[in-house]
Amino acid sequence: VAQAALGGTVYAPVGLATHYHTLAVRPDWSSRLHAVAVIGAHIFYRNPGFNGTPAAFRAVYLGRETQSGPARRVWPTRPVAPVELLAPAYTAPVAAKAAPAIGWTPPASKGDDSLPESTIRPEYRNSGRPLI
């Protein structure tokens, strides 16, 4: 699908849409774009002005992404100094004294048996957690 889209194939009902979202939300940017179509539970938008016209999509995809920021004009003519010469030698910090105890310990938490049992299906229990 991505290769076809980068090659210029479009799904006719959404046409020049560049943004979309589910109908369950309303992003801040949605009021600045023109709604194109609603398909299922999604609404599609195009940019206003020239960027929402077919002429804005006539450039051929180059197959690479550009690097943001200005290009470097001058490269150093001499090698950069080693880090050892620039940074001071590392010295271990002096250990601080332990803070005095305040004489209070929080009570142990009790299990609350009045809470309802989870209704989350086992296959969805870990959704939303990081993969690593």
**pLDDT tens digits for range 78-121:** 666 676 666 666 666 777 777 666 666 766 666 666 777 778 88
pLDDT, residue 110, reads 65
Q: Indicate the helix (H) or strand (E) that contains 39.
A: strand 34-39
Q: What is the pLDDT of residue 66?
A: 72
How much is the pLDDT for 74? 75
Taking the model in full, what pTM does it have? Answer: 0.44
The predicted pLDDT at position 32 comes to 95
Distance CA(33)–CA(19), nearest Å, equals 9
Q: What is the DSSP letter of 44?
A: E
Give the pLDDT score at 80: 67
What is the side-by-side order of every strand in the sheet holding 19-22? Answer: 19-22, 42-46, 34-39
Model confidence pLDDT, tens digit, residues 5-38: 767 788 888 888 999 999 999 999 999 999 999 9
